[in-house]
Amino acid sequence: MTDATQGAEQLKNERHELFCQEYLKDLNISQAAVRAGFSERSAKQHGFDVYNREEVQERIQYLNGHRLNRVQVDADYVLQRLVEIDQMDALDIMDDSGKLLPLSEWPKIWRQYISNFESIELSDVNGAVKKIKWPDKVKNLELLGKHIAVGAFKDRLEHTGKDGGPIEHSVEAKPKLTPEELSKLTAQELSRLAINGEI
């Protein structure tokens, strides 16, 4: 089978096939096992066993790739959308006097990302008040920074030796026993030496 068709056929074991389908919903092995019919008590172990089967891995990879192709969403798409949100400018939806433009005149990007819009009619002189909930730019930047391709917030752990210098290490050579010396040792002595890494 070629790489493109590996995992294309449904698994013969119906429970394993259902596990693959359920796993893709939330990427939770235990919950996928429960939804595939394993008992809650044994779901963690059975789920892990099923998940680690080669044909299950191939099937999950195939189904996930098929789903991503169908919806055309990948890491690049997510990154592109996050950048669009970051670059949104409130002036794009206001006229020169600072009043909101009619919704039909807003750029598509604003119509897609507004999370809440309320229009309240008042009976006094000015008529209506509009309340808009903007996309959370700080949260958006955090997501941008965490994106795998950006890696802005990637934790890095560096080790150094004394005073920031290189780490010094030494290897102590163990005395080798001659075959003659080894032959004189009891099984218990050989076992102790092996456990301690001395032979």
- Domain of 33, CATH number, reads 1.10.10.1400
Helix, strand, coil percent values for the chain (each to nearest 5): 50, 5, 45
Q: What is d(CA 29, CA 10) in angstroms, rounded to the nearest whole number?
A: 19
> Is residue 29 pLDDT above 90, yes or no?
yes
Domain assignment of residue 150, yes or no: no
Distances, alpha carbon 105 to alpha carbons 85, 94, 96, 108, 110, in Å? 18, 10, 14, 9, 10
Q: The whole model's pTM is what?
A: 0.46
Domain assignment of residue 20, yes or no: yes
Residue 141: predicted pLDDT: 74
Which has the minimum average pLDDT: 42-51, 171-180, 187-196? 171-180
Are residue 24 and residue 65 in the same domain, yes or no?
yes
Number of separate domains in the chain: 2
Domain span at 108 = 89-134
> Is residue 118 pLDDT above 90, yes or no?
no
Q: What is d(CA 150, CA 152) in angstroms, rounded to the nearest whole number?
A: 6
Are residue 55 and residue 99 in the same domain, yes or no?
no
Domain assignment of residue 195, yes or no: no
Q: Exposed, middle or buried, 50 (CB in 10 Å: 0-12/13-18/19+)? A: buried
Domain assignment of residue 29, yes or no: yes
Domain assignment of residue 54, yes or no: yes
Mean pLDDT of 176-184: 76
Q: Which two tokens stand for residue 51?
A: 């998940």
> Is residue 132 pLDDT above 60, yes or no?
yes
Calculate ∠ Cα 42-45-46, nearest 5°: 75
Residue 99: predicted pLDDT: 85
78 or 124: which carries more pLDDT confidence?
Answer: 78
Confidence bin at 75 (pLDDT 50/70/90): confident
Confidence bin at 15 (pLDDT 50/70/90): very high
Are residue 38 and residue 66 in the same domain, yes or no?
yes
Are residue 18 and residue 67 in the same domain, yes or no?
yes
> Is residue 79 pLDDT above 90, yes or no?
no
Domain assignment of residue 93, yes or no: yes
